[in-house]
Chain A
Amino acid sequence: MTLRRRLGVAAVLLLAAAAGMALRAWLLPGPVLEAVTDGAVIGDFSLPDLDGQPRKLSEFAGKTVVLNFWASWCGPCLEEMPAFIDLQNRYHDRGVQFLGVAVDEAAAARELATRLKLNYPSLVGDLDAMDIARRLGNTAGVLPYTVLVGTDGTLRARIEGKADAADLERWLKAAVSSRQVRD
């Protein structure tokens, strides 16, 4: 095979790989942030935090809450957490509170939270935590699962699977600006 032909084959292979990746992105778009227009007020619940102290959702009443169900064995859950940490840093002063709920054993969840330097609280539960997620619309039992809770405590949006950080930030910006208008 001549050098020219080899280069041609290499170019075709590169093009095929690139086209394959583009096709993959097209076939499997990221999970969509789905707005919930008639969301009810989320019922309060209590679970232990990573130090074993009981915590309630109602502690965060009046804030825009991003409630994220995750597990230490769930790769897509861990992949989205750095973006959550960044958003918590940038929106904390504007009344946004991220809150994790680990569907996991406490020791495994604690180790992950420490390793990732989680800057927001996480609760932990096993079947109890999954029951709460199901009550919040996670009928397929997937992780990660994220719901967005308005300052009035109503369910405003949900995300099945790994969140798109740009989508989430757009939603947070809108929530924060509507809160400022009301204030």
Chain B
Amino acid sequence: MRRSLILLIACLLSPGVNADLADLLGGTSAVLRPEQAFAPQLVTGADGRLAVQFRIAPGHYLYRDRLQVTDARGAPLRPQLPPGDVYDDPESGPVAVLRGDQTLHLDIPAHAGATIGLRYQGCAQGRLCYAPISLRLSLPE
């Protein structure tokens, strides 16, 4: 009996049984503002190059293939994107999405005041999506 109970609790908390339940346990039913939902930040990577860190809130995801990065003058950049997960959207079919903490690496040396442009789209699973978000991120001077 005790083993069954332990198994039940383990299953409830296991992402393997209920894919995003563990996420949801830390989640909230409130509508987050986009800066809270995805929280991008420009940082200096361990290799001395620019990187964009996202802290994606539980229950939320970013569309991997809709991420766009530009330099300060608007010229497109090609970041190294994490592979992400495949999300089988009930309407659109399978799409690659990013969840949790994710880092995009840019092949640009970091320097004080470095600036990039970023455009991204994401959703709160099954509830709502955010209109495309465009912003500029800079390292401190």
> Which residues from chain A sit less than 8 Å from chain B, CB to CB?
8-9, 12-13, 15-17, 19-21, 23-24, 27-31, 71, 73-79, 103, 130, 133, 139-144, 160-162
Contact = CB atoms under 8 A, between A and B. Distances in A.
A30 B127 CA distance: 7
A143 B29 contact: no
A12 B17 contact: no
Contact of B129 (A9, A27, A30, A75): A75
Contact of B131 (A17, A24, A141): A141
Interface of B: 4, 7-8, 11-12, 17-18, 20-21, 24-25, 27, 29, 31-34, 59, 63, 66, 89-92, 121, 123-124, 126-131, 133
Q: Is the interface of A mostly helix, strand, loop or mixed?
A: helix
A76 to B, nearest CB: 5
Contact of A76 (B8, B20, B127): B127
Given A27-B24, A140-B33, A73 B18 contact: no
B126 A76 contact: yes
B12 A23 contact: yes
Contact of B130 (A21, A23, A78, A141): A141
Contacts of A160: 31, 128
A35 to B, nearest CB: 17
Contacts of A20: 11-12, 17-18, 21
B91 A24 contact: no
